[in-house]
Amino acid sequence: MYLVTRADLPPGIQATQATHAALDFAVAHPDTFRDWHAGSNTLVLVAARDEDALDRLRVAASAAGHRHVGFREPDLGGALTALAVEPAAYRLLSHLPLALRPASGGARSPASGGAHEAASGGARRAVSVDGGGR
């Protein structure tokens, strides 16, 4: 499952908002959540630049027919702060950088840990959470 938060939010808020989205996804799509949990149980936390970029991803996920849930934080004026998206949306989200990492400013190499690498078990696996507990 992909959790997409906003890079313009402080790290603690990013983590909390992503958790809200994941829990809301479990309630809204219990069968998809159960299948994900019994299958890969891989969780990838990535970041969109800001609320506009996150909303564009929400619209694209919807247009592509991907199951997803957006979370709007009441304490931030109802702003869209995170999305939880089914694993099938990996092509839509694989270009995003992993969340909670400092911006590098340069080109992303495989060692910099993009979302595709984290989802496929690359060197940055520790940034994503999986059932294997590595």
Residue 101: predicted pLDDT: 80
Whether 80 contacts 58, CB under 8 Å: yes
Written as six digits, the tokens of 126 are 């520790």
The stretch 104-110 carries a mean pLDDT of: 42
Confidence class for position 93, pLDDT limits 50, 70, 90: very high
**Domains, the chain, with CATH or none:** 2-127 (3.40.1490.10)
Closest alpha carbon to 86 in 11, 16, 21, 8: 21
Kindly report the pTM of this predicted structure.
0.77
CA distance 113 to 92: 17
pLDDT tens digit sequence for 6-60: 999 999 999 999 999 999 999 999 999 999 999 999 999 999 999 999 999 999 9
Whether 4 contacts 93, CB under 8 Å: yes
CA distance 121 to 126: 9
